[in-house]
């Protein structure tokens, strides 16, 4: 990041290659479609480029980047909400295709994480998918380490309840019933 601030021509490429996969996983766990996640990732890189002067050399890069990514996600959500308020509802909604059943009785990570409240989902994704420390997640979410620990603990508890031994179909039904 320091090289990027000093206008090193190879620095942006190195940053994008190193940080895009975890950022894309972060967005994929938060939004419904791959296309929307890709759009958010692109917007994040544009915003990082515009505010690169605000990065303080010597500070960890990941919390700074994830804080920007989090704001981009929130702004994207608000933009989508604003747009949908002006759209006309359809009389008949098209049916969503059912997911393909695999031999595995445990739902995919994305399915499980989707059952969590937004704050817990965000913290869990940063911790487990992004590989950030508690302190880095706290900085990225503008909260305290204690609050991050509490959200993570509650997320783990909810996931444990969802993953208790049950008949195969019952778990999937329970996940679909969650708000």
Residue 118 lies in a domain: yes
71 domain-assigned = yes
Range of the domain at 154: 109-177
81 belongs to a structural domain: yes
Query: Could you tell me if 61 and 133 lie in one domain?
Result: no
Q: What is the CATH number of the domain that holds 40?
A: 1.10.1740.10
Q: What is this structure's pTM? A: 0.53
Does 102 fall in a domain? no
Domain count, the chain: 2
Domain assignment present for residue 101? The answer is: no
Nearest Cα neighbor of 160 from 100, 96, 112, 124 is 112
Q: For residue 34, is it within any domain?
A: yes
Q: What is the rounded CA–CA span in Å between residue 103 and residue 54?
A: 49
Mean pLDDT of the chain: 82
Summarize pLDDT for 51-99 with one digit per residue, the tens: 999 999 989 999 999 999 999 999 988 888 887 776 666 666 556 555 5
Per-residue pLDDT tens for 128-148?
888 888 998 999 889 999 999
Question: Is residue 173 located within the same domain as residue 113?
Answer: yes
CA 72 to centroid of chain Cα atoms: 11
- The answer to the question of residue 139 being in a domain is yes
- Long-range contact list for 141-146, CB < 8 A, 24+ apart? 141/67, 141/70, 142/67
Domain identity same for 81 and 113: no
- DSSP letters, 92-121, are SPPPPPPPPP-S-SSPPHHHHHHTS-HHHH
Same domain for 76 and 6, yes or no, is yes
pLDDT recorded at residue 92:
65
What is the pLDDT, as a whole number, of residue 162? 80
Same domain, 48 and 123: no
Task: Identify whether residues 172 and 114 lie together within a single domain.
Answer: yes
Region for residue 7 given its phi and psi (left: phi exceeds 0; alpha: psi -120 to 50; beta: otherwise)? left
Q: Is residue 53 part of a domain?
A: yes
| Separation between Cα atoms, residue 6 and residue 26, nearest integer Å | 28
Q: How far is CA 17 from CA 10, 12, 14, 29, in A?
A: 11, 9, 5, 20
Task: Give CA separation, 158 vs 29, 76, 113, 115, 175, in Å.
Answer: 16, 27, 10, 9, 11
pLDDT over 70 (residue 44): yes
């Amino acid at each position: 990041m320091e090289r990027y601030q000093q206008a090193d021509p190879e620095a942006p490429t190195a940053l994008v290659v190193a940080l895009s996969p975890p950022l894309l996983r972060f967005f994929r766990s938060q939004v419904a479609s791959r296309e929307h996640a890709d759009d958010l990732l692109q917007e994040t890189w544009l915003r990082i480029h515009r505010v690169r002067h605000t990065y303080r050399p010597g500070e960890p890069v990941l919390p700074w980047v994830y804080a920007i990514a989090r704001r981009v996600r929130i702004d994207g959500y608000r933009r989508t909400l604003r747009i949908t308020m002006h759209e006309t509802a359809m009389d008949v909604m098209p049916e969503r295709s059912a997911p393909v059943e695999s031999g595995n009785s445990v739902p995919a990570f994305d399915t499980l994480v989707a059952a969590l409240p937004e704050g817990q989902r965000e913290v869990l994704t940063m911790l487990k998918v992004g590989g950030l420390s508690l302190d880095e997640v706290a900085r990225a979410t503008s909260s305290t380490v204690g609050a991050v620990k509490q959200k993570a603990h509650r997320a783990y508890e909810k996931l444990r309840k969802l993953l208790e031994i049950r008949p195969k179909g019952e778990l999937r039904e329970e996940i679909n019933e969650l708000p």
